[in-house]
């Protein structure tokens, strides 16, 4: 727990006079109630994961003052969200919606434009509107966390349904899904598993997507497409609307599950390992979004600071972390594969035997017997997560440095050995150059994988922040030159990442800008999010 406070002056959105802005907030308070409009005039408190701020990023990578809200407002209904949007249009105030604001590593609760009014939907819009035990679906508001959904399903005694969760369970089901986050059961692609949105558009109208547009339907959560253009995609990783309800599909309890872990000795084993994983994953023998993690993470996730192992500057030397690994139950290795097999024992047996035979084609590959692992071993956290039980253990590696913060490099590639090695070497080279420990993990989807590299840095040290930012920017450019793009990124890197998707003279961004100008003519909705700037900001020095 960390309670750093950072003093600052009150903030007024650019282009608005202070008196007009204060009066505008008073007007909004008349509509929402004065307790539901909070001016951000206090010191910035970072708190920690469970008590995170909603005014700024608790893991800043730029100067503290850069990405900060002027005020936070708390709607209680779709109608109140509409009122806020109409108000923002009237006064030309930039607004920035968050569900819970735990988007750590990607900007937290911070708005992209300093002085935006943050709409914290999670505080008062946190109802689970429906859990359907026949269709295996639910309908939620933005403030429903993975923990809350899991608990509600348990409380109703619906043991036949599971949810899918990311590594940390405190985020919002809607927020995570809209940012196209991932979890680790066969339902790990959250965006692919949602069905139906209710959205407040930047001009205040409300739409329901898919079957939700048909009055009296009973298929909003079971058939995502409806009729006509499939518009849902416009509302993920975008600034085209505020999602007030979302349907989500739930996984059937598979009737048994079993985690397994394999250790591989050498860095170069990554290449043949990926070649083995690909057909097994596409063929669904490897069933979940599994993780291939580097050994150094086995140490970092113990939760102790790196100084416990190495007090020098620069990345931890290999011999130092290898010495440490030898003392741990898993022993010396370079890569660990964490997976889970689902179904009753005879079904699992069938798949696990194939996996064992294939993985052991790599010389030195070992299956780790879970029996030898103590209760606090990270393996058991992965076991819970792959069974849809929310957890917080993953937070431990943030303690790797004092005042730990992190930011992610997350390029996408096919599940191929040659791509995995290219991305691994690219990341390693840049981390060495900037003197940063390299903590890579590959999350294997169905036909692609995300390499997730978390740079953990001391947020109170400007030089470390700068090194993290510079290292990331270099890696994004290096990756783009090789044809790799990020699946998601931090607020401060969105312009750069959007710019790498520039095929045919930036045709995609031109299309996004056309949509932005049509849907949000006053440019009030999350300006700059995903690199999409409305007309009145475009080309005026906002891009980073």
Which residues of the shown chain bind ligand FAD in the complex (CB under 6 A)? 97-105, 121, 142, 166-168, 171-172, 174-176, 178-179, 181-182, 242-243, 394-395
Distances 348 to 141, 287, 290, 343, 381 between C-alpha atoms, Å? 36, 11, 16, 6, 20
Q: How many CA atoms lie within 13 A of 76 on its CB side?
A: 6
Angle between helical axes of 270-282 and 345-359 (0-180°, round to 10): 150
Smallest separation (angstroms) from ligand FAD to the CB of 266: 27
CB 244 within 8 A of CB 199: yes
Tell me the DSSP string of 132-192.
Answer: ETTTTEEEE-TT-BHHHHHHHHHHTT-TTEE----SSTTSBHHHHHHTT-B-SSTT-BHHH
Residues 56 and 46: their CA atoms lie apart, in Å, by 8
Judged by beta carbon, residue 181 or residue 226, the one nearer ligand FAD is: 181
Q: Which is nearer to ligand FAD, 233 or 363 (CB)?
A: 233
State the SS3 of 243-311: EEEEEEECEECCCCEEEEEEEECCHHHHHHHHHHHHHHHHCCCCCCCEEEEEHHHHHHCCCCCHHHCCC
Query: In angstroms, rounded to a whole number, what is the distance separating the alpha carbons of residues 168 and 391?
Result: 6
What's the CA gap between 445 and 415, in Å, rounded?
A: 8
> How near is the Cβ of 1 to ligand FAD at its closest, in Å?
15
Q: Smallest distance from the beta carbon of 214 to ligand FAD, in angstroms?
A: 23
CB of 366 to ligand FAD, least distance (A): 26
Please say which residue, 243 or 475, places its beta carbon nearer to ligand FAD: 243
Identity of the residue, 71 or 365, whose beta carbon is nearer to ligand FAD in the bound complex: 71
Nearer to ligand FAD, 12 or 200 (CB): 200
Q: 69 vs 415, which CB is nearer to ligand FAD?
A: 69
d(CA 299, CA 378): 10
Q: How far is the CB of 111 from ligand FAD (least distance, A)?
A: 8
User: Which of 330, 462, 457 lies closest to 405 in space, CA to CA?
Assistant: 457
Please work out, in degrees rounded to the nearest 5, the angle formed at the alpha carbon of residue 131 by the alpha carbons of 137 and 104: 75
* CA distances in angstroms from 490 to 80, 192, 438, 514, listed in the order given: 29, 22, 18, 24
Q: How far is the CB of 104 from ligand FAD (least distance, A)?
A: 4
In whole angstroms, the minimum distance from the beta carbon of 398 to ligand FAD comes to 6
Question: CA 228 to CA 247: how far, in whole Å?
Answer: 19
Alpha carbon 20 to chain centroid, angstroms: 36
d(CA 54, CA 69): 8
Of 365 and 386, nearer to ligand FAD (C-beta) is 386
CB of 191 to ligand FAD, least distance (A): 10
Beta carbon of residue 143, minimum distance to ligand FAD (angstroms, whole number): 9
Separation of alpha carbons 488 and 238, rounded Å: 11
Residues annotated as catalytic (active site), given as ranges: 106, 487-488
Cβ burial of 402 (10 Å; 0-12, 13-18, 19+) is middle
Identify which of 174, 79, 168, 82 has the alpha carbon closest to the alpha carbon of residue 126: 174
Contact 143, 171 (CB under 8 A): no
Nearest to ligand FAD of 142, 224 (CB atom): 142
Of residues 170 and 417, the one with the C-beta less far from ligand FAD: 170
Token pair 């690219």 in the structure block, residue:
426
């Amino acid at each position: 727990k960390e309670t750093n406070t950072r003093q600052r002056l009150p903030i007024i959105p650019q282009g608005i006079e202070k008196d007009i802005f204060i009066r505008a907030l008073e007007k909004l308070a008349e509509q929402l109630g004065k307790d539901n409009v909070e001016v951000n005039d206090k010191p910035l408190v970072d708190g920690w994961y469970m008590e995170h701020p909603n005014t700024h990023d608790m893991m800043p990578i730029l100067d503290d003052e850069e990405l900060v809200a002027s005020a936070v407002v708390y709607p209680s209904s779709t109608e109140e969200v509409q009122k806020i949007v109409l108000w923002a249009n009237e006064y030309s105030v930039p607004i920035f919606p968050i569900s819970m604001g735990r988007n750590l590593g990607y900007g937290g609760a911070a708005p992209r434009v300093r002085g935006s009014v943050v709409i914290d939907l999670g505080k008062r819009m946190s109802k689970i509107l429906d859990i359907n035990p026949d269709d295996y679906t639910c309908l939620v508001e933005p403030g429903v966390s993975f923990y809350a959904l899991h608990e509600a399903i348990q409380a109703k005694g619906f043991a036949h349904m599971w949810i899918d969760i990311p590594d940390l369970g405190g985020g919002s089901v809607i927020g995570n899904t809209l940012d196209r986050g991932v979890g680790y059961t066969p339902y790990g692609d959250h965006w692919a598993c949602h069905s139906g949105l209710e959205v407040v558009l930047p001009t205040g109208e409300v739409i329901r997507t898919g079957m939700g547009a048909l009055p009296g339907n009973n298929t909003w959560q079971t058939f995502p497409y409806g009729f006509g253009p499939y518009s849902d995609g416009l509302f993920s990783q975008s600034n085209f609307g505020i999602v007030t309800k979302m349907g989500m599909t739930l996984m059937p309890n598979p009737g048994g599950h079993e985690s397994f872990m394999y250790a591989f000795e050498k860095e170069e084993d990554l290449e043949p390992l990926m070649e083995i994983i690909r057909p097994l994953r596409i063929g669904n023998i490897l069933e979940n979004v599994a993780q291939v993690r580097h050994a150094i993470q086995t140490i970092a996730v113990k939760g102790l600071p790196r100084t416990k192992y190495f007090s020098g500057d620069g990345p931890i030397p290999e011999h130092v972390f290898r010495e440490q690994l030898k003392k741990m139950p898993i022993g010396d290795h370079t890569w660990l594969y964490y997976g889970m097999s689902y179904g009753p024992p005879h079904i699992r047996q069938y798949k696990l035997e194939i996996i064992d035979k294939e993985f052991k084609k790599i010389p030195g590959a070992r299956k780790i017997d879970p029996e030898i692992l103590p209760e606090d071993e990270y393996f058991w956290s992965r076991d819970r997560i792959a069974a849809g039980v929310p957890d917080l253990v993953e937070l431990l590696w943030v303690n790797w440095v004092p005042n730990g913060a992190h930011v992610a490099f997350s390029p996408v590639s096919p599940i191929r050995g040659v791509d995995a090695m290219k991305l691994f070497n690219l990341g390693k080279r840049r981390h060495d150059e900037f003197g940063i420990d390299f903590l890579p993990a590959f999350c294997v989807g169905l036909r692609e994988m995300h390499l997730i590299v978390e740079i953990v840095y001391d947020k109170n040290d400007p030089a470390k922040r700068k090194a993290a930012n510079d290292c990331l920017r270099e890696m994004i450019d290096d990756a783009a030159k090789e044809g790799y793009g990020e699946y998601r990124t931090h607020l401060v890197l969105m312009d750069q990442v959007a710019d790498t998707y520039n095929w045919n003279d930036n045709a995609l961004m031109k299309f996004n800008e056309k949509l932005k100008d049509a849907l949000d003519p006053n440019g009030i909705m999350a300006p700059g999010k995903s690199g999409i700037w409305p007309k009145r900001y475009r080309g005026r020095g906002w891009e980073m």
